[in-house]
Structure 1
Amino acid sequence: MRAITYSRYGEADVLELGDVPTPHPGPDSVVVRVKAAGVNPVDWKIRQGHLDGLLDIQFPVIPGWDVAGVVEEVGLDTPEFEVGDEVFGYVRKDWVHAGTFAEYVAAPVRTLAHKPAALSFEEAAGVPLAGLTAYQSIHRAGVREGQAVVVHGAAGGVGSFAVQIARTLGARVIGTASEANHEYLRSLGAEPVTYGDGLSDRLRELAPDGVDVAVDFAGADAVAQSVPVLAPGGVVASVVDPAARDEHGGHYVWVRPDSDDLEVLAELADTERLRVEIAEAFDLADAAAAHRTNESGHTRGKVVVRV
């Protein structure tokens, strides 16, 4: 099968298109014929060697954790899926080796769910890692109806999902973003605010009584800017800054594959409560360009690769 691989750490030019063996399913796995794969910052951070020692990485690596496709073959005990089922998933395994930038991927059933019918394969491929990160962060922080929630990095792939999920729970959402993305945030149901110096003061103006929850998908000083405006009993969560947990008693979130959570996201998409914005779609042969685009940090929505 065709796949993108790399055999050493480096910039995007280490990515190569070539032929590798087609995978076979394990007892609790299925083989998915890949229609599209999502690109996430973790993909190029792994490629650059930043997660060496944190993850078990086995060269040559096929990158990619997000997938949308069709079940091609089932394992010995996979009653959840049948051949021909359309699925999507966050196919993170215990080691980094055989990812989703390929024509086929073997995926444990715990990493998959049935694809939302309302989404194209490209849109569905943009959901799993970012959508699960948003969903699990929002729920870890205990967001509920009537709360004031600030989402840092609200126009990005994860942040835009977090805005929508928090709104479905009945929360008031304030989203930080550049002014160019303020109208987009309003369309998602958030009140936009510009990030940068003086953010704490601007948040205080919007929420004089403080915010109940701050979720950080941006890094930099987002946690430090949030803590002064938390209401009594307020909670801060971050996927970037462990200080949220270690210094402020909140949560540091590392997203987990979870088929039940994916089913919730699928239901939100099918009931038009979760929308997916695709920034750009690339062919598999142009995976290096897809990585570079994601690395730029200036995209709104998701970058995906068509297979």
Structure 2
Amino acid sequence: MRALVSHSYGPVDQIEVAEVPTPFAGPGQVLVRVQAASLNPLDGKLVTGAMREMMPVEHPFTLGFDVTGTVEALGEGTSGLAVGDTVVAAANGTIAEYAVVDAASAVVHGLDAVRAAALPVAGLTAAQLVETADLKSGDRVLVVGATGGVGAYAVQLAAQLGAEVWATARPEESEFVLGLGARHAVDYTSGALAVEGLDVVIDLVNFGAGIPSAVLRDGGRVVSPLGGWDETTFDRGVTAEYAGNSGSAEVLRELVDAVEAGKLAVTVGGTAPFDESARAAKDFFTSHKRGKVVITF
């Protein structure tokens, strides 16, 4: 089969579509014929080796962690899904003609392929961040990186809980984040963020000391999927907590249902056919994109 791969750690220019062995479904797994998959910033970090100490990869490395498609085969002892089901899931190596998915993490759905592929990793990460932030109605929260894949979901989920949301955005993207439910758009291109006294910062951009803790009240909290801090990073009683992607099929089901009901918007910044996926990936990793970029098959 063909897949979007990198053959070694190095610049994103080396990414290409190449022939690799077709995977097979093991126990508890399904083989999915891919209809669409999306790109994440993590793909680029794994390609370049920026995260090789934390997340080493084997080469050739197939990009992609989101997938939607139809079940082609069931692994031994796999139950709960049937051949022909259209599923969405977070999985490894999904920008390929076929991908292997853990059956327990897959959700049967009726969404269009593009929106489905843009949902799993970013949506699950945003849901985990908002849960970890323990937001309550009236809490004042800043989402840094609000126009990206995770950030666009985080703004919506926080606003739906009744939080007062500030969202970073370029001036030309202010209306976009306000449309997601943010109460205030913050221009991050002008230097220091003109906001203070917040309860929580959900930070999707900075590492460690780069996190804008000065915008928080004394005793405020930073929640991030990035980490990079230690006990000396913050003062004034500000604390930080890491929150990753739970990968919960139950939460993914809730997200799918919310999209189907029109209660959660999926932001797609662009699409590209699989044959053009190498170009699309290089562009995604080197430029500012709103929401997700989806590869279609």
Structure 1 and Structure 2 fold alike (TM over 0.5): yes
Residue 201 of structure 2 aligns to which amino acid in structure 1?
A
1-side partners of 2:230 and 2:281: how far apart?
29
Matched, 1:111 2:97: no
Q: Output the amino acid matched with 1:217.
A: L
* Cα distance, 1:232 vs structure 2: 5.0
Alignment correspondent of 1:100: 94
- SS of aligned partner of 1:243: coil
Aligned partner (choices 133, 148, 171) of residue 140 of structure 2: 148
Residues 237 and 245, structure 1, Cα contact 8 Å, conserved in 2? no
Aligned-pair identity in percent equals 35
Q: 3-state DSSP class of the match of 1:203?
A: coil
> CA shift at 1:113, angstroms?
1.9
Q: Give, in whole Å, the separation in 2 of the partners of 1:26 and 1:189.
A: 42
State yes or no: 1:265 paired with 2:255.
yes
- The gaps in structure 2 that reach 5 residues or longer are none
Task: Give the letter aligned to residue 71 of structure 1.
Answer: V
Aligned to 1:207: none
Show the counterpart of 1:253. Answer: 243
Name which of 188, 197, 204 aligns with 2:191: 197
SS in 2 for 1:250: strand
Q: How many angstroms does 1:160 deviate by?
A: 0.6
Contact 1:293–1:299, Cα closer than 8 Å, also in 2: no
For 1:1-307, what aligned pairs fall within 5 Å after superposition? 1-92=1-92, 99-115=93-109, 117=110, 119-190=111-182, 191-195=184-188, 196-199=190-193, 202-204=194-196, 210-219=197-206, 224-225=211-212, 227-231=213-217, 233-243=219-229, 247=233, 248-307=238-297
Distance 2:18 2:192 in 1: 50
Structure 1 residue 165: Cα displacement: 0.9
Question: Residues 73 and 249 from structure 1, CA distance in 2 versus in 1: closer, same or farther, beyond 3 angstroms?
Answer: same
TM superposition shift of 1:14: 2.1
Q: Are the structure 2 counterparts of residues 223 and 235 from structure 1 closer, same or farther at C-alpha, using a change threshold of 3 Å?
A: farther
Q: Kindly state the Cα deviation for residue 84 of structure 1 after the two structures are TM-superposed.
A: 1.6
1:43-64 Cα shifts (integer Å, max 9, x gaps): 1111111121322411122111
1:192-214 Cα shifts (integer Å, max 9, x gaps): 11115231xx213xxxxx22221
Q: Please list every run of 5 or more consecutive structure 1 residues that lacks an aligned counterpart in the other structure.
A: 93-98, 205-209
Check the 8 A contact 2:147/2:290 in 1, yes or no. Answer: yes
Deviation at 1:233, TM superposition (A): 4.4
- CA shift at 1:263, angstroms? 1.2
1:264 & 1:20 partners in 2: Cα distance? 34
Q: Secondary structure at the match of 1:155?
A: coil
State the secondary structure of the residue aligned to 1:87. Answer: strand
Q: Partner amino acid for 2:3?
A: A
User: Closer, same or farther in 2 for the Cα pair 1:246/1:143, shift >3 Å?
Assistant: farther
CA–CA separation in structure 2 for the residues paired with 1:22 and 1:220: 37
Following superposition, the deviation at residue 76 of structure 1 comes to 2.5
Corresponding letter in the other structure for 2:222: V
What SS does the corresponding residue of 2:60 show, helix, strand or coil?
strand
**Aligned-partner Cα distance in 2 for 1:254–1:198:** 27
Deviation at 1:245, TM superposition (A): 7.5
Question: Quick one: which amino acid aligns to residue 112 of structure 2?
Answer: S
CA contact (8 A) 1:35 1:306 kept: yes
Structure 2 Cα separation of the partners of residues 146 and 87 of structure 1: 37
Normalising to structure 2: TM-score of the pair?
A: 0.90
The total of aligned residue pairs comes to 291
- The answer to whether the 8 A contact 2:12-2:282 is kept is yes
* CA-atom RMSD in angstroms: 2.1
